[in-house]
Amino acid sequence: MFQVRTDLAIEARELYKEENNQEIPGVEVTKDEQNDYSVTRVKILNELGQSTMGKKIGSYITIESPGLKKADQELKDEISQALAKELKMLINSDKNTKTLIVGLGNWNVTPDALGPKVVGKVFVTRHLFKAYKKTEDETMAEVSAISPGVMGITGIETGEIIKGIVEKTKPDLVIAVDALASRKMERVSSTIQISDTGINPGAGVGNKRLGLNKEYLGVPVVAIGIPTVVDAATMVNDTIDLITDEMKKQAKGSSEFYSLLEGMKSEDKYQLIKEVLMPYTGNVMVTPKEVDDVINDISIVIANALNISLHPGIDLKDVNKYIN
């Protein structure tokens, strides 16, 4: 069955609404609008919502800020605070919570290097707790971090690496950061999704591995993801739909050709686009040309949010002390 490639719950919900003109049964949606960003909370309540959405029962929080692609320091700070607020509500941690941050992705490929870059910027403290034989602190929580690479580099399933670390270090919580795929170019690098259902490394490029979730790791897993790529065939498919709608509005006389395009099944249209692209470029993943700067900026936003949300004594005025 045809399925547009997207890792965002908000987009899965949009696709259903477009096709059925109603909200998804078994799914609760709320949205808060701010001046520079919006927060959409999608909660999958039962198995009906899970099967319809194609995502696990749980909470999916999406922060959208179009200006994030070229954000100034004020906006980056604002989004960091918004993300920290959502994380605090979702994970309900305190000074005694031991957290392992996992930066998923390939540090050699810029659009996939978000996780490793975040790990390089978070404030890790586990070694300090061990060195000073402390069990708690009023200003810091115990945080460790790892960037395990990808199977093509290590030859080991990422899930196996993380499971071994969890069994040895015994954190109370795992937070996984990864690059995702979107169905819309406008959401690339301007959208942050948080979920409490875990994550499948490599899912964004259609290369699923062992899932990082509570069932496999034995501890709660919160996922933070930012779309950095769009599937080319999906983007072309959406572009054709937009062009068809516009051409139909401007067409004089008969518009049977445009009606024919509109009437094509999504599966047939997507397959046609893939067949056209394949001899030339294949079905590639598309990313913005300024991706280097964007990934660096967004990694700072996420790292700051993690530092604020996990450490009780750190707030916005302190975070830049820990950014390299």
Q: Which domains does the chain have, with CATH numbers?
A: 9-233+284-322 (3.40.50.1450), 234-277 (no CATH)
- Of 225, 215, 217, give the one whose Cα is nearest residue 194: 225
- pLDDT mean over 52-75: 90
Q: How many CB atoms lie within 10 A of CB 30?
A: 9
Amino acid letter, residue 218: G
pLDDT of residue 204: 46
Using only C-alpha atoms, the chain has a radius of gyration, in whole angstroms, of 21
Residue 102 β-bridge partners: 146, 176
Does 264 or 142 have the greater pLDDT score? 142
pLDDT of residue 318: 78
Neighbour-count burial of 34, counting CB atoms closer than 10 A to its CB (0-12 exposed, 13-18 middle, 19+ buried): exposed
Question: Please, which pLDDT band fits residue 268 given cuts at 50, 70 and 90?
Answer: low
pLDDT of residue 16: 81
Q: 71-80 b/e with 16+ CB inside 10 Å = b? A: beeebbbbbb
Q: Residue 199 gets which letter from DSSP?
A: B
Q: Do residues 143 and 125 make contact, with C-beta atoms less than 8 angstroms apart?
A: yes
pLDDT of residue 2: 39
Look up the pTM and report it.
0.84
What are 136-162's pLDDT values in tens digits?
A: 898 999 999 999 988 888 888 999 999
Question: Please, which pLDDT band fits residue 210 given cuts at 50, 70 and 90?
Answer: confident
pLDDT exceeds 90 at position 264: no
- pLDDT mean over 271-286: 64
Of 114-123, 183-192, 296-305, minimum mean pLDDT range: 183-192
Of 172-181, 231-240, 253-262, minimum mean pLDDT range: 253-262
Distance separating alpha carbons of residues 57 and 27, to the nearest angstrom: 9
pLDDT exceeds 80 at position 320: no
- pLDDT mean over 199-205: 62
Distance separating alpha carbons of residues 100 and 80, to the nearest angstrom: 19
Tokens 């996939």 found at: 112
Sequence length of the chain is 324
Question: Please, which pLDDT band fits residue 173 given cuts at 50, 70 and 90?
Answer: very high
Tokens 């179009």 found at: 66
pLDDT of residue 269: 65
Distance separating alpha carbons of residues 122 and 137, to the nearest angstrom: 18
pLDDT of residue 71: 81
pLDDT of residue 1: 37
Of 4-18, 173-187, 219-233, minimum mean pLDDT range: 4-18
Q: pLDDT above 70 covers what percent of the chain?
A: 81
- pLDDT mean over 277-299: 76
